Amino acid sequence: MSALKEKSITGFIWSFINTGGTQILGLMFGIILARILDPSDFGYIAIIVFFTSLSNVFVDSGFSHALIRDQNSKNIDYSSVFIFSFLVSLFFAALLYIFSQDIANYYDEPILADLAKVFAFSPIIHALMSIQSTIITKDLNFKLKAKLSLSAMTVASVIAIVLALNDYGIWSLLVMQLLNPFLLMVFLWIKIEWKPSLNFSINSLLKYMNFGIKLSISNFINVFYKGIYVVVIGKSYSAEQAGYFARADSLKNLPAVTLDKVIQRVSYPLLSKLQDDKDNLLLYNRKIIKFTALLIVPAMFGMAAVSDSLIVTLVGDKWLPAAEYLTYLCIVGVFYPFHSTNMNVIKVNGNMNLFLKLDLFKVVLLIPVLYIGVVVGIKEMLYGLIFHSFVVFLVSGSISGKILGYELKLYLKDILPSFIFSICMSSIVYFINNLLMFSYQTELLVGIVTGILIMLVFLELTKIKEYIEIKEYLLKKGDS
């Protein structure tokens, strides 16, 4: 078990480097592009990415997670899934191309037709690297994944910036969105020894079908849930407002989604190996929850406290309307990694009927929130999103707790210290910045330094076990 613990911690760190590094690079290059391009350009791209992301869900069809979960998968299983995914990608690429003009007509924006036609390549690229990516995840080889992902992101982003500086406008964003996964796909084919064969077995697909279909529906719901706001805002208000929302959401995702992806990539294969060991399953899941609270809660509340200065400093005054959106989205985002971890437990347990019901519940609860956004306003929709995310977290936490024997009361007790500390920290940061009335740049610097110092003092005084484990591990690695 100690070897598994060591491998899981190493995987967590490299997955964090991979996901966090990709997010940070994306933020850095996105800042440069945001200063060159208009908010509406980002709104248009966000709308099209929503449709391609939905297509990619069906390309995967939940088979990648099914292969990770299956500890006895064979080469014919991998090849069969690869062939199926590729054929599905061709279908959805054609579908996106055919309906490109309808998308443009719906928004009354002709540029969307051309964007959709080029973005039709996205499902094909996704299919061509699906198995290689699955193999890396299953082996917990996140060090290699980090190197390949960061390399692809850097090359694609530099090319996009060069295009933007040469007046290619929105097309520079499109190039970055497509070239990044294309390069990653090429790198994966070079580095991963596995190559598909022409052997195809319908039985290989059928044994994963029950799990895969239900997970696909769940993934479809999640992609819909994450992207529908931009689609609604773009239609009901403007592409510019959609751009503001997309920019705020991308900044919120830097801590929230980065950590969630790390947890998903490391905890799912880890918990899958422990699925028959209930005691250790509970032990490791509880550790994941505590680590999540320790990292994500202060990051989200801290970002909410400096939203105005963060937006203006990073992307300029023209993006200031996005700051208010960011404040509310940070509160929404603080619950997402916990909910995602709860759903991971249900997924590992193999209860996909319950998994799907919870996702359907999440969407049904979202309908009145979207209605408020269309009829009342964006700010009121954000209030609804905060309530929605909290309720969904409580429900999924209660159900996953029953599977593990992890009572909701104990769950809340485990994460409560991080919430109390983070709210106090963010309140102090907000009060100092508003009291002294610094420039935006000085406010951001003072806010970050003050928040980090408060966090470190709190952690050193309370000696939280998870903090001590991380500290000792990093010191050990530093000495070796």
Separation between Cα atoms, residue 258 and residue 254, nearest integer Å? 6
Confidence check: pLDDT of 7 > 60 = no
Separation between Cα atoms, residue 401 and residue 284, nearest integer Å? 13
Segment 364-372 mean pLDDT: 91
Residues 6+ apart with CB under 8 A from 96: 51, 52, 55, 116, 117, 119, 120, 123
Residue type, position 14, single letter: W
Task: Show the tokens assigned to 350.
Answer: 């193999």
Residue type, position 361, single letter: F
Confidence check: pLDDT of 187 > 80 = yes
Looking at residue 437, what DSSP letter applies?
Answer: T
Confidence check: pLDDT of 133 > 70 = yes
Separation between Cα atoms, residue 23 and residue 30, nearest integer Å? 10
In tens, the pLDDT along 57-73 reads 888 887 777 777 766 77
Nearest to 422 by CA among 307, 252, 342, 303: 303
Task: Show the tokens assigned to 347.
Answer: 């997924």
Confidence check: pLDDT of 99 > 70 = yes
Q: Are 256 and 328 in contact (CB under 8 A)?
A: no
**Crossing angle of the two packed helices 130-138 and 239-273, in degrees rounded to 10:** 50
Q: What is the SS3 assignment for 121? A: coil
Looking at residue 319, what DSSP letter applies?
Answer: G
Scan for tokens 């599905």, then name that residue: 88
Q: Are 183 and 156 in contact (CB under 8 A)?
A: yes
pLDDT for the residue 9 = 60
Nearest to 106 by CA among 268, 231, 287: 231
| pTM for this model (two decimals) | 0.78
In tens, the pLDDT along 202-243 reads 887 788 777 778 778 878 888 888 888 888 898 888 889 999
pLDDT for the residue 19 = 67
Nearest to 336 by CA among 378, 269, 388, 384: 388
